[in-house]
Amino acid sequence: MATRQTQLLARSLLTPAVGLLFIWMIVPLALTIYFSTLHYSLLDPGSEEFVGLENFRYFLTDPAFLASLQNTLVLVGSVLALTILLGIPLALLLDQPVIGRNFVRLMVIAPFFVMPTVSALVWKNLLMHPVSGLFAWLAKLVGLTPVDWFNDVPLFSVILIVAWQWLPFATLILLTALQSLDEEQKEAAEMDGASAVSTFIYITLPHLARPITVVILIETIFLLTVFAEIFVTTGGGPGLQTTNIAFLIYSQALIQFDVGSASAGGLVAVVIANIVAFFLVRIVGRNLEA
Amino acid sequence: MARMATRQRVVISTIGAWLFGFLIFFPILWMVLASFKTELEAFAIPPSFLFFHWTLENYVTVQERSDYFHHAMNSVIIAGGSTLIALLIAIPAAWSMAFSPTKRTKDILLWMLSTKMMPPVGVLVPIYLIYKTVGLLDSRIGLVFILCLGNLPIVIWMLFTYFKEIPRDILEAARMDGATIGRELVYVLTPMAIPGLASTLLLNLILAWNEAFWTLNLSTSNAAPLTTFIASYSSPEGLFWAKLSAASTLAIAPILVLGWFSQKQLVRGLTFGAVK
């Protein structure tokens, strides 16, 4: 039984963390909201004035916003699809009796630990360079014209790099879930003459539904704000072809120094992320009841 | 494996898994190989896979020309510092929520999690301006502070899920024997919590080491950790693939090793305990 003294102690132990996180959440957010109502350019200091929702109107009707929203959705959607569609068979494969499974698992998981700037630059130069990259050499080897990745299909190139980084995450979580699947259930199904395909559809897949949801939600949170990979490869271009919302806000803030509309954009990003977060928090919260 | 594995099945799945694994690992392997080539060979078509003139000159040049260790040290200080401070703040908080939960504990935990959902770009402008005003741009302290706050929710969550698993009976027993809360914390809880603490530390070191939003935006040279340093190779003037590879190999090697050790905890930490 917790005495009053322990309760008091418990509360005082909790306070620093709660206080810091509260400040960390409230202060910048309040400032972002405040800035978003100002005409505020770092190039023109002293000219700040209240403009109401003007920045939002500007940001939301800017063609760059629609383009970057579309790019963001395509990027998130494609990476999710790639990592899950490849992650499931890969996890199933690693769940089999494989000789040297631990070593294979190390190889599969490695990309997740590579810092984003390294993965992006290694892919861009060593692999995807249109003349001296390995892909170009492979293409010529089989008689194809090498693809000029970052000019012809810039967004797809970024998607490939990001998917490579996140495939290990999806695979690892799905594998962990598979390993907790009751073997006997599968065995019983096999004894009853169920084919491998129907065992997969009726037993394995339902078991994976929850981990897949978790993968989708967590990846979405991170993928909505992909930044470094774009920063070091395309710089958002050519044109706006690889500008996502995070990069658009960055360029408005730190390249065009338009604090007002970058703040408005920041709030739009917060709203989008919160929609996803709402669902994730509910799923994780359900887990807490247990 | 309860089921009998037929030999054929083992062979097929082994070949498939190794092939798949090799393909996924290949970009890293290719980078490591390139780091031992001369610039000319790294660029050459057709590429040479193993039979090239192996050299260490890139590693030497990377250190001499761009002071690699300065940036590596920044990474160590920023990742290590932010993780340690986060742990210091998080341990009491997680301990209190795990062992003296109140009605609001669940709400507090979920609220903490939701602060992690805030996209960093949403607060880039105010943070940048505050840092500019108080002179924290391109400073290690500034980055330690921001990465610490950014990862604090994950640290608290991971610790909470580990502390939760410590059997409460032991605490009761210690209390019966007259242990004060301080002693209980030091002699009973800490030893049992060490594995959880270690994996939390490890995972957060990895996350902080690889963090590439705040580091890219808030550091340029003095405080630049390896993420920012590597990004400087993206400039189009001159292609230094072998040197880029050498710098990259050094930058990811320690974290790759740590990561391989912590793969089990990784799932748990990154899914906030939703998948174990």
DSSP state letters, chain A: ---HHHHHHHHHHHHHHHHHHHHHHHHHHHHHHHHHTEE-BTTSTT--EE-TTHHHHHHHHSHHHHHHHHHHHHHHHHHHHHHHHHHHHHHHHHTS--TTHHHHHHHHHGGGGS-HHHHHHHIIIIIT-TTTSHHHHHHHHTTPPPP-HHHHSHHHHHHHHHHHHHHHHHHHHHHHHHHTS-HHHHHHHHHTT--HHHHIIIIIHHHHHHHHHHHHHHHHHHHTT--HHHHHHTTT-STTTT--HHHHHHHHHHTS-BHHHHHHHHHHHHHHHHHHHHHHHHHHHHHHH-
A2 touches chain B (CB under 8 A): yes
| Domain hosting residue B172, numbered range | 70-270
Q: Which of residues 75-94 of A touch B (CB under 8 A)?
A: 90, 93-94
Judgement on whether residues B25 and B108 belong to the same structural domain of the protein: no
> How many domains are there within chain B?
2
Judgement on whether residues B112 and B241 belong to the same structural domain of the protein: yes
Confidence band for A101, pLDDT divided at 50, 70 and 90:
confident
Using the beta-carbon criterion (under 8 Å), do B122 and A269 form an inter-chain contact? yes
Judgement on whether residues B158 and B21 belong to the same structural domain of the protein: no
- Within-domain flag for B64: no
% of chain A exceeding 70 in pLDDT: 97
Report yes or no: A104 and B17 within 8 Å, Cβ to Cβ: yes
Q: ipTM score here?
A: 0.86
* Segment A247-256 mean pLDDT: 86
DSSP state of B169: H
Using the beta-carbon criterion (under 8 Å), do A127 and B89 form an inter-chain contact? no
Q: Which two tokens stand for residue A129?
A: 């360079």
Q: How far is the alpha carbon of A240 from chain B, nearest alpha carbon, in Å?
A: 18
Judgement on whether residues B89 and B53 belong to the same structural domain of the protein: no
- Within-domain flag for B134: yes
First to last CA, chain A: 21
Q: Which of residues 27-66 of A touch B (CB under 8 A)?
A: 27-29, 31-32, 35
For an interface test with A, which of B123, B262, B276 has the most A Cβ atoms less than 10 Å from its Cβ?
B123
Judgement on whether residues B102 and B183 belong to the same structural domain of the protein: yes
Judgement on whether residues B262 and B151 belong to the same structural domain of the protein: yes
Nearest CA in chain A to B123: A28
- Within-domain flag for A22: no
Using a CB-CB cut-off of 8 Å, the residues of chain A touching B121 are 225, 227, 245-246, 249-250, 266, 269
Question: Which of these, B105, B136, B115, B103, lies nearest to B220 by C-alpha position?
Answer: B136
Q: How far is the alpha carbon of B190 from chain A, nearest alpha carbon, in Å?
A: 16
> How many domains are there within chain A?
1
- Within-domain flag for B98: yes
Judgement on whether residues B12 and B87 belong to the same structural domain of the protein: no
Cα–Cα distance, A255 to B241 (Å, whole number): 28
DSSP state of B120: G
Beta carbon pairs, A and B, within 8 Å? 320
User: What pLDDT shows up at residue A91?
Assistant: 92
Using a CB-CB cut-off of 8 Å, the residues of chain A touching B116 are 221
- Within-domain flag for A164: yes
Residue A125, domain CATH: 1.10.3720.10
**Listed residues B19, B36, B57: the one ending a domain:** B57
Within its chain, how far is the Cα of B143 from the centroid? 15
User: What pLDDT shows up at residue A168?
Assistant: 93
Judgement on whether residues B98 and B34 belong to the same structural domain of the protein: no
Using a CB-CB cut-off of 8 Å, the residues of chain B touching A41 are none
User: Hey, which residues does A50 pair with through a beta bridge?
Assistant: A38
Using a CB-CB cut-off of 8 Å, the residues of chain A touching B89 are 16-17, 20
User: What pLDDT shows up at residue B39?
Assistant: 80
| Domain hosting residue A134, numbered range | 62-257
Using the beta-carbon criterion (under 8 Å), do A115 and B251 form an inter-chain contact? yes
- Within-domain flag for B63: no
Question: Which of these, B213, B215, B200, lies nearest to B258 by C-alpha position?
Answer: B200
Judgement on whether residues B135 and B46 belong to the same structural domain of the protein: no
Cα–Cα distance, A4 to A157 (Å, whole number): 59
Q: Over the stretch B210-253, which tens digit does the pLDDT of each residue have?
A: 998 999 989 888 888 989 988 888 776 556 888 889 989 999 99
Q: Which amino acid is at A12?
A: S
User: What pLDDT shows up at residue B25?
Assistant: 95
User: What pLDDT shows up at residue A141?
Assistant: 87
- Within-domain flag for B77: yes
Q: Which residue has the higher pLDDT, B258 or A182?
A: B258
- Within-domain flag for A50: no
Torsion sign across C-alpha atoms A211, A214, A216, A222: negative
Report yes or no: A69 and A272 within 8 Å, Cβ to Cβ: no
User: Hey, which residues does A258 pair with through a beta bridge?
Assistant: A41
Using a CB-CB cut-off of 8 Å, the residues of chain A touching B216 are 117, 227-228, 231
- Within-domain flag for B232: yes
Structural element, H or E, at residue B81: helix B68-99
Using a CB-CB cut-off of 8 Å, the residues of chain A touching B10 are 96-99
Predicted model pTM: 0.88
- Within-domain flag for A280: no
Torsion sign across C-alpha atoms A110, A114, A116, A118: negative
Judgement on whether residues B138 and B248 belong to the same structural domain of the protein: yes
Judgement on whether residues B49 and B127 belong to the same structural domain of the protein: no
Q: Which two tokens stand for residue B105?
A: 């504990």
Chain position carrying tokens 């890139």 = B58
Residue B191, domain CATH: 1.10.3720.10
Using the beta-carbon criterion (under 8 Å), do B206 and A14 form an inter-chain contact? no
Q: Which two tokens stand for residue B55?
A: 């050299």
Judgement on whether residues B159 and B187 belong to the same structural domain of the protein: yes
Give Cα separations from A169 to A162, A208, A212 (angstroms).
12, 15, 11
Point out the residues of chain B with pLDDT beneath 50. Answer: 1-2
- Within-domain flag for A217: yes
A264 touches chain B (CB under 8 A): no
Using a CB-CB cut-off of 8 Å, the residues of chain A touching B270 are 169, 173, 218
Cα–Cα distance, A211 to B171 (Å, whole number): 33
Residues B163-200, buried b or exposed e (16+ Cβ, 10 A)?
bbebeeeebeebbeeebebeebbeebbeeebeebbebb
Chain position carrying tokens 């109502």 = A37
* Segment A138-161 mean pLDDT: 90
